[in-house]
Chains A and B, each alone.
Chain A
Amino acid sequence: MDTIDCRNMACPAPVISVKKALENLGEIRVLLDDGAPRENVARFAGNRGFTVLEEQSDNGWALTITAGTGANIKSTPASNSGDVVFLITSDRLGDGPDELGRLLMKNFIHSLLDAGDLPSRMIFINSGVKLTTEGSDLLEALGKLAGTGVEIKSCGLCLDYFGIKDKLLSGSTTNMLTTVETLLSNERVIRL
C-alpha cells in the first residue's frame, strides 16, 4: 500500500491530495497533522464509502483508507438534491451598521427555529465562523438546530485565520473542497 505524506499542508491541500491518490490507487496510507486535516480527510473518505483506520504516530496521525462496499471517490457528500443549504458569509446580516447587522443575524437564526422547514446544512465562512464559536449568542440555537439534524459546518481556514480554531463549540470544521461540492450538489443555496 502506498503512503502519502500530507503533514504540514494547509487546508484543503490534504483532502485534494488524498482524493487524487484514491482516484489512482484505490487505497492508501496517509500521514496527517492532528486537528482539521485529520478530521477533514477522515470525513471526506468516510462520506464516500471508504473504510478509515486511524492510528496515532509520533508526528501526527496515519490513516489507512481502503475501499468499502459502495465506495466511490467521485460521489459527493450525502445530501438530498432538493435540500436547502445556507451559506453564512458573515456574522452580520445585510449591509448597514454592524450593530444592526449582528442583531439581525441573531434574530434570523433564532427565528429559523420556529420555521417549518429547516436547511439540511449551514456552512459558516469568513466572519460567520464567529457565530459557531465561544462567546456567540447563537450556540444554544445552533445546538437545537443540530439536534433536529441540521449539519453545522465551519470553515477551518477561517477559524484558523481568526485564531479561534480551538473555540469551535457548534458543529465541526469543513474545507473549501467540501463546501464547493456541497454548493454544486444542492438545488437551492441561500447565501446570507
Chain B
Amino acid sequence: MENRTMIQEGHLLAVFNSPHRVMKAEDVLKGLDLQVLLIPAPRDLSTDCGLALRFSDEDNDNIMLALVREKLLPAFVCRRVKGGRYEIVWNNDDNIH
C-alpha cells in the first residue's frame, strides 16, 4: 500500500479548510509555475473539505509568499516524516496576517 500513496517522506502538505480557497490557491500557484498537486488530505489530517496541496521543500518559500500575498493561507502546513506520521511546520492559528 505504501508505494501507492501520493505522499512520500519529506513532502509538504498545505491543508485547507475550504474547497474554494484550495482551488483558488492551486490556480494561483500553478500560474506562477510552482509545482503543486491538489490531493485528498490524509484521513488523520482530515478537515472539513479534506483537500491539500502537496509540494516540495524547494518551493516552500515561494509558495508561502504567494499564499500570503493572495491572502490564501491554508489552515496548516505539515511534513510527512518517518513512520507515515505528519509534523506540523506552520499553523495559521499561530500567525497574525
Contact = CB atoms under 8 A, between A and B. Distances in A.
Sorted nearest first, the 4 A-B pairs with minimum C-beta distance are A113-B4, A110-B39, A111-B40, A107-B40
Interface in B28-82: 37-40, 50-51
Nearest to A104: B19
A148 interface: yes
A111 B50 CA distance: 11
10 contacts: A103-B38, A106-B39, A107-B50, A113-B4, A113-B5, A114-B1, A114-B40, A137-B38, A141-B6, A147-B4
A147 B6 CA distance: 13
Interface of A: 99-100, 103, 106-107, 110-111, 113-114, 137, 140-141, 144-145, 147-148
Contact of B51 (A107, A114, A145): A107
A100 B51 CA distance: 13
Interface residues of B, number: 13
Contacts of A147: 3-4
Given A103-B19, A103-B23, A107-B51, A114 B38 contact: no
Contacts of B38: 103, 106-107, 137
Contacts of B1: 114
